[in-house]
Amino acid sequence: MKNLEKLLEEHNLTREEYERIKSILGREPNLVELGLFSVMWSEHCSYKSSRIHLKKLPTRGKYLIQGPGENAGVVEAAGKAVVFKVESHNHPSFVEPYQGAATGVGGILRDVFTMGARPVALLDSLHFGPLERPSNRAIMEGVVSGIAGYGNPVGVPTVGGEVDFEEEFSHNPLVNVMCVGIAEKEKIFYARAGKPGLSLIYAGAPTGRDGIHGATMASAEFGEETEHKKVNVQVGDPFREKLLLEATLEVMERDLIVGIQDMGAAGLTSSSSEMASKSGVGVDLYLDRVPLREEGMTPYEILLSESQERMLMVAREGKEEEIKAVFDKWGIDAVVVGKTTEGDRFRAFWHGEMVADVPVKSLASDAPAYERPYKKPNPDETWKESWTRERDWEDALKRILSSPHMASRRWIYQQYDHMVQTNTVLLPGAGAAVLKIKGQKEGIALTIDANPGWGRANPEGAAVLTVAEAFRNLACLGAEPLGITNCLNFGNPEKPDIMGQFVATVEGMKRALEFFEVPVTGGNVSFYNETQGKAIPPTVTIGAVGLVEDYMVIPRPGRVEEGMGIFLLGWTGRDLGSSLYLKVVLGEEGGRPPEINLERERLLQRELIHLAREGRFAYAVDLSPGGLLPNLAEALFHIGMGAELSIETEDEEVYFLFGESPSRALVFASGDLEAEVPVKKIGLVKGERLTAYVNGRKKIDLPLEELKKDWENFFPSLFDR
Amino acid sequence: MGNRKVRFGVVVFPGTNCDRDTYHVIQDVAGEEVVYLWHGERDLKGSRVVVLPGGFSYGDYLRSGAIARFSPIMEAVREFAEEGGLVLGICNGFQILLEAGLLPGAMLRNRGLRFICRFEDLVVENDETPFTLLYQRGERIRMPIAHIDGNYFAEPRALAELEGRRGVVFRYLKNPNGSLNDIAGIINPRGNVMGLMPHPERASEAELGSTDGLRMFLSAARYVRES
Amino acid sequence: MKAKIEVFLKPEVLDPQGETIKRALHTLGYETVKEVRQGKVFYIDLEDENPEKVIEEIARKVLSNPVIEDFRWEIEK
Amino acid sequence: MKAKIEVFLKPEVLDPQGETIKRALHTLGYETVKEVRQGKVFYIDLEDENPEKVIEEIARKVLSNPVIEDFRWEIEK
Ligand SMILES: Nc1ncnc2c1ncn2[C@@H]1O[C@H](COP(=O)(O)OP(=O)(O)O)[C@@H](O)[C@H]1O
Ligand SMILES: [Mg+2]
């Protein structure tokens, strides 16, 4: 072999890993085999740094049907299976924002429909660098139009998401996409190969040289030579995806296949070896039969290509022709490219000649697992007296509302078709999304949340807060959480500090989920979000699915009437650290994030769910981030009426107006409201102005329209001049 | 003809994505009969109203609706239209009717170049078509749009002809996309082929925010029943 | 042989894409740009005895919409 | 003066549009078509003392995406 050092470096394998490969094979690997191990043992595919920690997460729950380990997780709702998962496409979106985001959507859709579910919703969590810089604007514009350019044609509504901005994302933007699908409970499909002797059918786009080593690219830092890796950009074809989706659901409907897996990272290699490994069989692949897009492709390239819009299925005995006929009807190529075998070998042939021969399990399940050294971060405990000084609250309110962190996201979501499939009962704009399930009384509520600002200050606390926030968003709609999926975005895990952030985050998530008794059903880890040594803040993205008992009576802004009371539920503490107020008004980063008392949080959420289901309030909103005043103003924009507030507080005013204490919600209701948590009536819905008296003195008096204009225009004025 | 159900046909092209929504509304909300019509066939299966639903036929590659116009089913639709059959094109279906020459004009990219999905207010301009019998002229209705190529264009003479014969059926109250004369929907001279960019099937159930679109399906059904 | 077909909007048809690009170019300081119009170009490989006829037909019937577009084509070799 | 810039996908990059058009042409009976690739063309009017430089720059920096596209340009008169 030519210069081994160089070869290993190119394949992102360590010397020890190479030795391990040699001892598995009992010989030196050939180049093709080295390629196989390189992708399958990459961080992206093998979770080698994260595996031992992820195992700690709770994966049991009363609604759980399928936990982590399959293409997507599954919970039960309204007698149906809800299949969902979130995945990152961070690196590709930095290299080519439009295609990176588009193919991210394509990939997560396939993860859901491979399980036999029809995708019914997409959500996305996006993090970019500050928009003052044109390069960041270009990335954001590309990502948003890429999501639209893929999701819209496929006909899956993008019903929600979140977007925020921090300096560190300038070179490592985050694009986390979540997909939710619905299947019949008894018709879920898994990545299984059945038994020996079955045909492997390749369906979808022909294979090109796309994204060879995409998985390894996602497993390394960006450095000087990122430039040449750019050739790996993949172009998405949403039209083909739509056809692939319909054809795949049809072969499932007709019960023609045993198992199926999409060809995502590490393409043909991972899909075939993973299915075989789960069923304890071997696999033979005839690479010369794989449909190709480019001339002169080698076995190495065919095995590692990450071309989009491809599926690998294991046919039921004798059903090959019927399967092909279904795909043919939809205009999709389908060919037999291999078969399952007795034994445990993964073998690939090229015109009859064997080009790779390794144990299946060595690729799929025996990748090394590392217990990387870690050093847990010290939480930021900063707290300053100066923060609490009284200021011009009107000015603070205006600045927060028109800041990129809080301004209306309409410019984004109106580029997404969020109504196709006619299930979207609660449109984007006013909190979590609600979808109806046709033919049922029940619906599902969906939300995705992340807060890198908290993560930077205290990763463990951030994980707890983010889980609580996601569930609170659901509770405001009367929805009980059924399960979560998550995406963990970090820097280089080989650095003990970063690994420490990761461990802390997982522990926080575990603590919160165990407390709420809600399982993780799957997720994704994205490491190496680091450029020239500078890492992103640890960012945990939580995607949650909740059950709505009756979608006809959900709280919504349209139900609020003039004269209704505005009630604050919950506990207000002294939580200003890492808040929007600090960041936007005082220009200070960091500070001790809010403290959360999980018992109180649970009480609040129970009350919200109970009151919502009883129809006791018209609308409710969660207060973080931004705090009470900005979130109230935003709620009023959706309601279309003003309010008169009268607030009494013994503490410094800023805590009440802009503090970000969790375990609180604002509720709009008529009459009196009684609850098992502290309730304070703070005002009335009224007129066209927002006025607020604090301890008897008028502090805010603004026409709602004026506030709304700046909130609405922030993104259009940046992008649509 | 009593209360016999009217059969609608919903055409499915590769890339159509509102077929199931349209089918659902016709069957479960309007209570009529409905069948799918496959693009590769020529049989309209006895449909009395043919609907070309929204979506991205052939990915909207080349131009929106440009490739779908060559489908075998479109030959049947053309003949059906020539015999006076009712044809309704929604969004991508409208674009296909334009490309096929069954309606005049063409679609350009939206003025802002972006896809727009949101509710729009429309004015009903013509309540004498088979599709708008149940609306009132001048009535304001709300329906969602969801498109990137909805900027209607026709050359001046064609536009004058269209306006002259009251061929504009719906106009936007606030033009979202640059359409000439705020046009949102038009009908052919014979009055049996209509196309519109807004989605009536997304405005047919109260929980989705509007029921203003439902009357379009009900109106077509009534027209067929009474003719 | 290789053919190239260009499809472009008729002069009287407003071109929203070209307009936007022009404005962007002005913002970037390219103020000497007076007008931008965007079109499509198709590069076609074909093996045909009568390429002129085929290409003309494809351009006219399939690739362009006569209501808004014109086209031109050439055969490269 | 008038300039024309063509922007096209690099040969190794997938072109779903071209692919779909090719399939449609085959269905319509144009089976002698072996490949279709779609690109963009920009017609630019400008008055500049150094048009070559400006056009090259616009093509490279604004109109094409170097990650997946190449371009060529010409000045017509
Ligand atoms: N990237 C995005 N994609 C789609 N919808 C988004 C996106 N960002 C925000 N939204 C939607 O905009 C609304 C407001 O966003 P945001 O203020 O981040 O949410 P929240 O209501 O949780 O404070 C929500 O309905 C959200 O789903
Ligand atoms: Mg997968």
| Residues A91-148 pLDDT 10s | 999 999 999 999 999 999 999 999 999 999 999 999 999 999 999 999 999 999 999 9
Three-state SS sequence of A156-196: CCEEEEEEEECHHHHCCCEEEEEEEEEEEHHHCCCCCCCCC
Chain D hits for B58, CB-CB cut-off 8 Å, are 20, 24
- Nearest alpha carbon to residue A201 among A19, A42, A324, A111: A324
Residue A209 — pLDDT band, cuts 50, 70, 90?
confident
CA–CA separation, A335 vs A339, rounded Å?
A: 12
In contact, B67 and C61? CB cutoff 8 Å: no
In contact, A280 and A360? CB cutoff 8 Å: no
3-state SS class at A546: strand
Provide the 8-state DSSP code for A70.
Answer: B
Chain C hits for D48, CB-CB cut-off 8 Å, are 32
In contact, A585 and A396? CB cutoff 8 Å: yes
- Cα of first residue to Cα of last residue in chain B, in angstroms, is 9
CA–CA separation, B182 vs B168, rounded Å?
A: 10
For residue B225 the two structure tokens come to 């029943």
Contact D28/B at CB under 8 A:
yes
**Centroid of ligand 1 to alpha carbon of A409 (angstroms):** 6
The domains of chain D are located at 2-76
pLDDT for the residue numbered A630: 98
Ligand minimally distant from the alpha carbon of residue A433: 1
Which residue among A11, A44, A91, A418 is the active-site one? A44
CA–CA separation, A715 vs A411, rounded Å?
A: 6
User: Which residues, including other chains, have CB under 8 Å from residue A363's CB and lie 6 or more apart?
Assistant: A36, A37, A40, A269, A270, A273, A277, A346
B39 is catalytic: no
Contact check, Cβ <8 Å, A293/D67: no
Provide the 8-state DSSP code for A581.
Answer: I
Contact check, Cβ <8 Å, B154/C12: no
Residue A410 Cβ inside 6 Å of ligand 1? The answer reads no
In this predicted structure, the answer to whether residue A220 has a pLDDT above a threshold of 90 is: no
Ligand minimally distant from the alpha carbon of residue A412: 1
For residue A684 the two structure tokens come to 């009335």
- Distance from D2 to chain A by nearest Cα, in Å? 27
CA–CA separation, A235 vs A208, rounded Å?
A: 11
Average pLDDT, chain C: 94
Residue A128 Cβ inside 6 Å of ligand 1? The answer reads no
In this predicted structure, the answer to whether residue A357 has a pLDDT above a threshold of 80 is: yes
In contact, A228 and A320? CB cutoff 8 Å: no
Provide the 8-state DSSP code for A289.
Answer: G
Contacts of D among chains (3+ CB pairs under 8 A): A, B, C
Q: Do the strands C33-46 and D33-46 form a parallel or antiparallel pair, or are they unpaired? A: antiparallel
pLDDT for the residue numbered A223: 53
Ligand 1, atom 10: closest residue by C-alpha = A161
Q: What's the sign of the alpha-carbon dihedral A665, A431, B203, A78?
A: negative
Provide the 8-state DSSP code for A331.
Answer: T
pLDDT for the residue numbered A227: 41
Q: Which helix (H) or strand (E) holds A501?
A: helix A496-516
Residue B2 — pLDDT band, cuts 50, 70, 90?
low
Average pLDDT, chain B: 97
> Which ipTM value was assigned to this complex?
0.93
B199 is catalytic: yes
pLDDT for the residue numbered A264: 84
Q: What is the pLDDT of residues D6-65, one digit of tens each?
A: 999 998 889 999 999 999 999 999 999 999 999 999 999 999 899 999 999 999 999 999
Residue A404 Cβ inside 6 Å of ligand 1? The answer reads no
- Tell me the mean pLDDT in the region B129-134: 98
In this predicted structure, the answer to whether residue A650 has a pLDDT above a threshold of 60 is: yes
3-state SS class at A545: strand
Q: What is the pLDDT of residues A260-313, one digit of tens each?
A: 999 988 899 999 999 999 999 999 999 999 999 988 999 999 999 999 999 999
Which residue among A11, A89, A213, A418 is the active-site one? A89
Least CB-CB distance to B151: which of C16, C20, C63? C16
Least CB-CB distance to D67: which of A96, A294, A331? A96
- Nearest alpha carbon to residue A121 among A146, A86, A157: A157
Burial of A707 (0-12, 13-18, 19+ CB in 10 A): buried
pLDDT for the residue numbered A233: 80
In this predicted structure, the answer to whether residue A228 has a pLDDT above a threshold of 50 is: no
Contact B95/C at CB under 8 A:
no
Contact B114/A at CB under 8 A:
yes
- Distance from A247 to chain D by nearest Cα, in Å? 18
Provide the 8-state DSSP code for B103.
Answer: S
CA–CA separation, B210 vs B212, rounded Å?
A: 6
CB pairs under 8 A between C and D: 92
Q: Which helix (H) or strand (E) holds B157?
A: helix B156-164
In contact, A304 and A267? CB cutoff 8 Å: yes
Cα of A691 vs its chain's centroid, Å: 38
Least CB-CB distance to B70: which of D16, D20, D28? D28
Considering only CB atoms, which residues of chain C are within 8 Å of chain D?
6, 8, 18, 21, 24-25, 28, 30, 32-48, 54, 58, 62-63
Residues found in chain B:
227
Please name the residue of chain D whose CA is at the shortest distance from the CA of residue C62.
D25
Chain D hits for B59, CB-CB cut-off 8 Å, are 16-17, 20
Q: A182 — phi, psi (to 5°)?
A: -125, 135
CA–CA separation, A177 vs B116, rounded Å?
A: 21
Q: Do the strands A80-88 and A174-184 form a parallel or antiparallel pair, or are they unpaired? A: antiparallel
- Distance from B70 to chain D by nearest Cα, in Å? 8
pLDDT for the residue numbered C44: 97
CA–CA separation, A655 vs A575, rounded Å?
A: 7
For residue B114 the two structure tokens come to 């972006």
Neighbours of A644 (CB within 10 A): 17
In this predicted structure, the answer to whether residue A225 has a pLDDT above a threshold of 50 is: no
CA–CA separation, A301 vs A288, rounded Å?
A: 12
User: Which residues, including other chains, have CB under 8 Å from residue A352's CB and lie 6 or more apart?
Assistant: none
Counting Cα atoms < 13 Å in the Cβ hemisphere of A4 gives: 10
Contact check, Cβ <8 Å, C16/B63: no
Q: B125-164 burial, b for 16+ CB within 10 Å, e for fewer?
A: bbbebbbbbbbeeeeebbbbbbbbbbbbbbbeeebeebbe
Least CB-CB distance to C28: which of D47, D48, D62? D62
CA–CA separation, A691 vs A219, rounded Å?
A: 52
- Cα of first residue to Cα of last residue in chain D, in angstroms, is 6
Residue A429 Cβ inside 6 Å of ligand 1? The answer reads yes
Number of the ligand 1 atom closest to the C-alpha atom of A164: 18
Residue A79 — pLDDT band, cuts 50, 70, 90?
very high
Written as one letter, the residue type at C49 is E
In this predicted structure, the answer to whether residue A229 has a pLDDT above a threshold of 80 is: no
Contact check, Cβ <8 Å, B61/D28: no
Which residue among B18, B32, B91, B120 is the active-site one? B91
**Centroid of ligand 2 to alpha carbon of A111 (angstroms):** 5
Between CA C12 and CA C21, with CA C16 as vertex, the angle to 5 degrees is 115
Distances (CA, A) of D47 to A461, A478, C30, C33: 60, 64, 10, 7
In contact, A119 and A382? CB cutoff 8 Å: no
What percent of chain B stands above pLDDT 90? 98
In this predicted structure, the answer to whether residue B86 has a pLDDT above a threshold of 70 is: yes
CA–CA separation, A484 vs A270, rounded Å?
A: 25
A638 is catalytic: no
Q: What is the pLDDT of residues B30-60, one digit of tens each?
A: 999 999 999 999 999 999 999 999 999 999 9
A365 or A227, which is more confident: A365
pLDDT for the residue numbered A226: 44
Residue A222 — pLDDT band, cuts 50, 70, 90?
low
Chain C hits for D47, CB-CB cut-off 8 Å, are 32, 34
Q: Which CATH architecture has domain C2-76?
A: 2-Layer Sandwich (3.30)
Q: What's the sign of the alpha-carbon dihedral B180, B183, B184, B190?
A: negative
User: Which of A126, A139, A162 has most ligand 1 atoms within 8 Å of CB, for mutation?
Assistant: A162
| Domains of chain B listed by start with CATH number | 7-226 (3.40.50.880)
In contact, A459 and A501? CB cutoff 8 Å: yes
- Distance from D14 to chain A by nearest Cα, in Å? 6
